[in-house]
């Protein structure tokens, strides 16, 4: 099974990715992980990506395409994969399609997890972190037993600057601008599978399995 996972920050992609790769026995290919690995190993393409990341800039299509397609050539991707964070642009999507076509392969589906914007904002701005032990909570989905106090060490919980509502709004807007063309791209190809992400975790996974033609276990 060759899949792409789409969905805004706060949609629960991380949780569903774990379920999908386990159920279908395929590797989870995360753009962030690929970049970090190549940067740590100081590969040529990793150092090139680092130049942009260090400046707070988006890594250009050429670099992203090269680094992601190299990952897909590895043996663990022979029988399928779950792509997360790639492709982000139509140019990247075209490059992926050409790559697969040259090997006589094709995508099976693009899973798009949909959650209402107001829910996403509550989830993302609801994160609270312990100043002492680093434990993370969420007042929306995983609240501490005592408001503002860590369950593990009883220290104060704070909201990080990058979880403020202003930053959250910007993250969601960036995602919308970047991803809408990709959603449309795969919809026109008949590969898009829209999933209601505003449900119980198990129900979301069940719907994903059904959309992919497999009975959930």
List Cβ neighbours of 120 (8 Å cut-off, separation of 6 or more). Answer: 8, 9, 10, 11, 168, 172
Per the residue annotation, which of 71, 123, 171, 193 is the catalytic one? 171
Q: Indicate the burial class of 212 (C-beta count within 10 angstroms; 0-12, 13-18, 19 or more).
A: middle
Q: Is 128 a catalytic residue?
A: no
Per the residue annotation, which of 88, 123, 128, 193 is the catalytic one? 88
Per the residue annotation, which of 2, 71, 127, 193 is the catalytic one? 127
What strands, in cross-sheet order, belong to the sheet with 157-158?
136-138, 127-130, 157-158
Per the residue annotation, which of 160, 176, 189, 214 is the catalytic one? 160
4 three-state secondary structure:
strand
List Cβ neighbours of 58 (8 Å cut-off, separation of 6 or more). Answer: 52
Q: Is 171 a catalytic residue?
A: yes
What are the tokens at 31?
Answer: 């753009």
Q: Is 48 a catalytic residue?
A: no
At residue 114, φ and ψ (nearest 5 deg) are -110, 130
Q: Is 71 a catalytic residue?
A: no
Q: Is 160 a catalytic residue?
A: yes
* DSSP one-letter string for 61-100: HHHHHHHHHHHHTSGGGTT-EEEES---SHHHHHHHHHHH
Q: Which positions are annotated as active-site residues?
A: 13, 88, 127, 160, 171
């Amino acid at each position: 099974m060759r899949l792409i996972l789409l969905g805004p920050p706060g949609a629960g992609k991380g949780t569903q990715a774990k379920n999908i790769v386990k159920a279908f026995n395929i590797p989870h290919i995360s753009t962030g992980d690929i970049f970090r690995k190549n940067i740590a190993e100081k590969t040529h393409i990793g150092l090139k990506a680092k130049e942009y990341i260090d400046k707070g800039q988006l890594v250009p299509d050429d670099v992203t395409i090269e680094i992601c397609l190299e990952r897909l050539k590895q043996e663990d991707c022979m029988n399928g994969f779950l792509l997360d964070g790639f492709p982000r642009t139509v140019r990247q999507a075209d490059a992926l399609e050409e790559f697969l076509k040259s090997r006589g392969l094709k995508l099976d589906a693009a899973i798009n997890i949909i959650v209402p914007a107001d829910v996403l904002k509550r989830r993302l701005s609801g994160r609270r972190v312990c100043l002492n032990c680093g434990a993370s909570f969420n007042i929306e989905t995983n609240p501490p037993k005592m408001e503002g106090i860590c369950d593990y060490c009883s220290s104060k919980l704070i909201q990080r600057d990058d979880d403020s509502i202003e930053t959250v709004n910007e993250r969601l807007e960036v995602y919308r601008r970047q991803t809408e063309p990709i959603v449309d791209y795969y919809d026109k190809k008949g590969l898009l599978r829209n999933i209601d992400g505003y449900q119980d975790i198990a129900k979301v996974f069940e719907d994903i399995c059904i959309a992919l033609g497999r009975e959930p276990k």
